[in-house]
Amino acid sequence: MHARTPDAGPGTPPRPGPGGPHAGLEQAGGRPGTTPPVPGRWSAYGRSALASILFPAVLAVFLVFLTVQVVVDAGPLIPLDEAVRDGVRDAAAASGLGWLDGPMHLLADLGGPVPGGVALVAACAYTCLRARDRAARLRLAGVAAASVAVVSVLVIVGKNAIDRAGPSGGEVTGGEWGFFPSGHTATSAVCFGTAALVLGTVLSPAARRRTYAGTPLLCALIGLALLWCDYHWLGDVLASWALCGIVLWTAARVLPSGGHPDRGGPGTGPQSPSSVSSAARP
């Protein structure tokens, strides 16, 4: 006779023990060797995906918001542009701040194509030397070239289509480009920003953090210098930052994952079994 468990009814077969052939079947959802599903995992994935898409979506809406106001020459941006222009002019004319003119003009010149282009080419060259994988090199060069090309085309189209006059007044004559969006702001943001992203794929974590923190600060100073020198409206600068933010967000998701070449960065060889197992652990 077989002993029955107290809760087993007549005719109920005995339940298999912990080491039985079907052990873990109930916990694994009917498939031995699998882990049980984590409650709310897919909802967490959905929230994460929504949060990542929210950033470029907000920038795109903001860019459209600015562009529409510039085209129709109406909306809250127009008086804000004029107020910022007048405030910066008053600050620049104030006694004791004249020494800022020289540094501000130097910063504004950093937004030109030569400084940004040199920085981007140097970053790509350094990174390609560190990345031993040919596919990684091609991806780095392709992302850098595509980012600059997209921003350049959109900025030129916007300048020609909108023909916005500068803060100093006067109409945009034939053969001249408009001031919206700001070309110097866009050039500095996309060149220095892409250079930082490219370098971030081979820099150490500490150096990558410093690069990612310093690049937006430099771009912000260039934008401020363009306002100080009376080269652009505030809306021109903000529009270029929004456009470049979308492009750089896309580039960051196409580039290889960051890390030192000896720690899983681009161009590294196959990972050791220990590193693979440690990366697989939660």
| pTM across the whole model | 0.75
Q: How many CB atoms lie within 10 A of CB 39?
A: 8
What CA–CA distance (Å, rounded) separates 226 from 233?
Answer: 8
* pLDDT tens, residue order, the chain (282 aa): 444 444 445 555 555 555 554 444 444 444 455 455 455 555 655 666 676 789 999 999 999 999 999 999 999 999 999 999 999 999 888 878 888 899 999 999 999 999 999 999 999 999 998 877 788 888 899 999 999 999 999 999 999 999 999 998 877 777 788 999 999 999 999 999 999 999 999 999 999 999 999 999 999 999 999 999 999 999 999 999 999 999 999 999 998 765 433 334 433 333 333 333 333 333
What CA–CA distance (Å, rounded) separates 276 from 209?
Answer: 25
Q: Contact 170/179 with Cβ under 8 angstroms? A: no
What CA–CA distance (Å, rounded) separates 194 from 200?
Answer: 10
Of how many residues is the chain composed? 282
Q: Is the dihedral of CA 53, 59, 61, 63 positive or negative?
A: negative
- 187-204: per-residue pLDDT in tens? 999 999 999 999 999 999
Amino acid at 29: G
User: Coil, helix or strand for 226?
Assistant: helix
